[in-house]
Amino acid sequence: MKNNDYPSSNNRRKFLRGISLALGTTAFGIPLLSLNACQSGNSGNQEQADQANQDGAQNRKLGIALVGLGGYSTNQLAPALQETENCYLAGIVTGTPSKAEEWKSKYNIPEKNIYNYENFDQIKDNQDIDIVYVVLPNGMHAEYTIRAAQAGKHVICEKPMATSVEDCQRMIDACNQNNVSLSIGYRLHYEPHNQRVMELGQQQVFGPVRRIEAADSFVIDEPDVWRLDKELAGGGPLMDLGIYCVQGAVYTMGETPVAITAQFGEVTKPEYFDEVEETIMWQMEFPNGAVADCRSSYNEEAGKLRGEAENGWWELDPAYSYSGIDGETSEGNMDYPQVNQQARQMDGQAQSVMENRKSRVPGEMGMRDVRILMAIYEAARTGNRVQLDI
């Protein structure tokens, strides 16, 4: 069954309509928040006022509103927000009244901080909400990111950023124009094992990386889910899971691939996969000659990220799970703590807003990855080697 928290399928095209916006591009800037800071009309006291402003920003938790109360919000994000230090669950946006009542009671959310998809834009008047976290199907990311930005709210958008490069650019432009930050929900940038992989590859701890192997897959066992609807999902496992492989390879290398080859796998469940791919395999070539062999499927189980360098190797398996990440290298086991990835992610993203810094995982990174995903699809459709210039 499709998740009925989102706008109904009858209204899908309304929610996925092209957004015609004249958005000017400005320099990326995130304003310091004015968080209950004292204001003074006396120019002699301006320095004290500025300091109070800064102290207030550092001491106050930022309020996050979750847009879409599907499984990820319910099982990961909301519980994580009970552990965060820099932010808290301030509001929700849902199309299901029963969920609104359930969440209101469970998390003590004020009635004024509960919205639906029709009155969402009124969130601009709510001072409790600093950040909007868009946790909707992929095809809806652009619309709600842009609307959140126009409401003057900072935005965290789940991965993949959008279903087209053009939508990604509109999202970035809207956030720039409204002086709000844009982060992508790349939780593994805050996870210790994956952070170590970044160091091993980028700092060439075992010498230059020669090969990467990445796989992320799970089995979909019912046909009527939004992930199999191309309009909502933008594609199949590549968009949902393969993006972790793309991310893993890129943050291992610390650079963007220059060329891609790809092919679609066999369709064994045509009743499921009549709109999106069931399995896809691709190879990314990097400037130094390293290659990343990747695979993603909705009909098998996998979750690996392996790097092979001139003088050693490392492997995470599972690499992308919400918990229980495990790793080893040619020198022994990786001994890092298991952490609440979502709590670390949201704390880090909130801190970047509070400190007026660009996010560790900004919209530009999300757009780069969507460019790579689109190139993978092009390579698989055409059978050609696709060159990238990002």
- As annotated, the active-site residues are 159, 244
**In contact, 263 and 281? CB cutoff 8 Å:** yes
Q: Which helix (H) or strand (E) holds 167?
A: helix 165-177
Class of residue 3 by CB neighbours under 10 A (exposed 0-12, middle 13-18, buried 19+):
middle
Cα dist from 193 to 160, 315, 321, 338, whole Å: 22, 10, 11, 9
The torsion angles phi and psi of 146, rounded to 5 degrees, stand at -65, -45
In the chain, how many H helices and how many E strands?
A: 13, 15
Closest Cα to residue 16, out of 140, 134, 120, 117?
140
Q: What is the DSSP string of 251-299?
A: HHHTS--SEEEEEE---S-TTT-SSS-SEEEEEEE-TTS-EEEEEEESE
160 prior amide bond cis, ω within 30: yes
The Cα 212–Cα 313 span in angstroms is: 10
Cβ atoms within 10 Å of 336's Cβ, excluding its own: 15
The Cα 298–Cα 295 span in angstroms is: 11
